[in-house]
Amino acid sequence: MTNDSDFEAIIEGMLVVRDPKLDYIFFDKKFLKNISPISFDKNNLYIFSERKILLDKIFSKKDINVYKLSNNFEFGFRDFKKWSAGIYINKINEIIKKILPNDETPFGSLFSDFKNIHEKIVESPYKSKESYIATIVHEYAHIYYNRHKLWFLANKDENLKYINNSINYLMGEDSVLNGQIRFPYFGELHQFMSELFAYSVEYSASKIFWVNFLEDLKVSEINTLRIFAKKEKDKNLEKEDSVIVDDPHNFTKVFGRIIVDKYKKEWPDKLLNGFII
């Protein structure tokens, strides 16, 4: 049965990303605007937004409103198990885009359903309210990372600078390019780096706000990394890829802690600046 505590947990996640303790990560606040989480149970969709929407408002806290929209979609085990940075069910996405055409919409189950699923998974560290809020922050981190224009070569002035500079070189003219050159991460590599950033945010926030969850996460990931080590020993890397790059989450589990612990509060800049020469 959905209750106010389900809504409060999502709102807490929305507020954590604005906490001054995380300003070294989420330093550009414009990238946190127009993000409206969407949750669900078996009967309804729930829209979390700071703006007024012409729907049935059922809850409000700290200037964040919760709106209810009835649904007739069937959600399965995998849906209730997770959150994602966007709505992956096309029909739901079409409905929400008509209501919030300009918003990013992280999407996932309510805490009560999320918890019930993870309690059935023995090895899962995601059984507490802390872990649930950390999951929402993780998805915000994906959106924040993806909104940095450099990743999609969407900065026209920057692109023209490089194009014109290349023309100058070919025509024997002096270069007008000063400073470092930043390369974006494309395609699959972008997916790996986005996951690395999101994990690093989740880990860093947990060190500050959710130390009990952090301990659960450590136990789980030590076991996972030991499995990785065993698999890696059995691989022929001349014929197959490392277990590290089998999946973005594998890559992240190996390098996330290393990045955060090595670079302390400097890691966000390093990951957001792309490949620099």
pLDDT in tens, 95-135: 999 999 999 999 999 999 999 999 999 999 999 999 999 99
What's the whole-number average pLDDT of the chain? 92
- Determine how many CB atoms are found less than 10 A away from the CB of residue 15: 14
CA-based Rg of the chain, rounded to a whole angstrom? 21
Q: What is the pLDDT of residue 43?
A: 92
Residues of the chain with pLDDT > 70, as a percent, come to 95
Q: What is the pLDDT of residue 179?
A: 67
Q: Which amino acid is at 163?
A: I
Mean pLDDT of 155-179: 79
**Is a pLDDT exceeding 80 seen at residue 183?**
no
DSSP 3-state of 140: helix
Confidence band for 176, pLDDT divided at 50, 70 and 90:
low
On the 0-12 / 13-18 / 19+ scale of CB atoms within 10 A, 130 is buried
pTM: 0.89
Mean pLDDT of 207-229: 96
Angle at 61 between CA 55 and CA 62, to 5 degrees: 120
Confidence band for 213, pLDDT divided at 50, 70 and 90:
very high
Q: Taking Cα atoms as reference points, which of 154, 175, 158, 157 lies closest to residue 166?
A: 175
Rounded CA-CA distance 221/217 in Å is 6
Tokens of residue 250, six digits:
């594998």
Confidence band for 170, pLDDT divided at 50, 70 and 90:
confident
pLDDT for 27-63, tens place per residue?
A: 999 999 999 999 999 999 999 999 899 999 999 999 9
- Determine how many CB atoms are found less than 10 A away from the CB of residue 145: 24
Sheet hosting strand 44-49, strand order edge to edge: 56-61, 64-70, 44-49, 38-40, 107-109, 83-84
Q: How far is CA 232 from CA 140, 225, 229, 238, 244, in A?
A: 32, 10, 5, 12, 8
**Is a pLDDT exceeding 80 seen at residue 185?**
no
Rounded CA-CA distance 96/69 in Å is 10
Dihedral angle at the C-alpha atoms of 158, 162, 165, 171, nearest 10 degrees? Answer: -140
Confidence band for 151, pLDDT divided at 50, 70 and 90:
low
Measure CA of the first residue to CA of the last residue in the chain; give whole Å. 54
